[in-house]
Amino acid sequence: MTSKDLKRWRELNGYTQEGLAKALGTYQAAVARWETDGRRIPSFLHLALRCLELEGGESTEGKRKRKGSTSHGKRV
């Protein structure tokens, strides 16, 4: 995954740098460095992003839900 790939994925999936960092359990500065080639992107990041695609997570609008969840957060 390249820095451009990461930024494209983030934008297509409705995440800010801060929102993606929160979903991944890291800092916004780390995401910014990955996107500007200031730090090497972890080799497993594509797996974490795929998991976010499948399971959901917080997007910039806070409206993204896990598949199979209700608006109250309970699994269906």
Q: How many helices (H) and strands (E) in the chain?
A: 4, 0
Task: Determine the Cα–Cα distance for residues 24 and 26; give it in Å rounded to an integer.
Answer: 6
**Domain span at 42:** 1-76
Q: What is the CATH number of the domain that holds 14?
A: 1.10.260.40
pLDDT at 58: 61
* Number of domains composing the chain: 1
Write out the two tokens for 18: 């801060």
Structure confidence at residue 63 as a pLDDT band (50, 70, 90)? very low
Q: Each residue of 4-34: pLDDT tens digit?
A: 999 999 999 999 999 999 999 999 999 999 9
Planar angle of CA 9, 11, 31, nearest 5 degrees: 75
Three-state SS for 9? Answer: helix
Does position 69 have pLDDT exceeding 90, yes or no? Answer: no
Task: Determine the Cα–Cα distance for residues 60 and 39; give it in Å rounded to an integer.
Answer: 24
Does position 68 have pLDDT exceeding 70, yes or no? Answer: no
